[in-house]
Structure 1
């Protein structure tokens, strides 16, 4: 599914070389909910951007669904991201002047291979969004916005869901609800979901937990 083989990422800072991610190896499968925890600046987000094909490693090999992406050009990487990866960000990143329903209609114009009507209706009902479809982002709560963001990520039928601090702006009740939703959808839709978080309470929902410190990743 997603394999890292001796993957590292370095950046130049003047005469210095900063090793943001040290040699990393793992193999993650569909149906797994995985957490990556660690302090700010430890390399978690850099690791996530490589998993999401937003940047390539300095060394090592990344394989996604049997495709070695290291030699992909930007057009190929963009196509891969659109087809295989769903992103959930700390802020819900909704377009302010589009209703909830229009957010999905826009996605369908960009990517044809989305959930069918029945699957989409089931997802919206399951997430409690079926009664707010005509509302704008500023008319719904923070928890509802994040659930819309989750639904958008799943709507495009990706293989992998990558969530960067998806509960950071939520209170405890909504954060737990989001994790329960992510776990349920990961299992039912057979996705791989990777979550970067500071909140260790959320790791109880995960199948695997990795900790990152100073660019080094270790399974807990």
Structure 2
């Protein structure tokens, strides 16, 4: 009796579940007729499941690829110890933005209400992250012909139960260590009433190699906010620890 090849069956089932989750989640977000009664609590679960499926599929596929001539792949553990930067961030806001934190804001979909929702969502994310640690796995691919890096990241924020996918857009080795540019994808943040989606941002970190170790240290700054003196606002102390060669 011929052996059954379960691999195609597995991928078919996975693809079906992924597509079904994507359709239902998108329908709930856009409030399509068939899905407009989905509660925010269940929509969050569906969105989280979709992210896990997507991140898992990308990372497993990437790790299963055979070695490519001319490229060097290295795996790192990424840790971000978030500092308490809430007061400094609030100080950076404009007067109208700070009013969003102390008033009952409209939810009528107007430009003002959308802007305030972004502010209150970011504040919620800050409060859930300060003095806690975010953790991720980084796969860096070095193009030996150019010396530049690109890569993929699976990262879990302190306030999140599920990881998000990120991308290393560019990177290069320096005399002191390693400079990387990350693209952070959208993510869901829990609010007191329901959930909200934070937009994607680009982050740049200059890592310095620690002496006598396979680790790098650096500083993670806010993508937009500045201190009162005009310097980038520090949000986390960052470490990149090499786990494979």
If the length of structure 1 is used for normalisation, what is the TM-score?
0.27
If the length of structure 2 is used for normalisation, what is the TM-score?
0.25
Name the one with the larger strand percent: 2
Higher relative contact order, structure no. (Cα contacts within 8 Å, ≥ 6 residues apart): 1
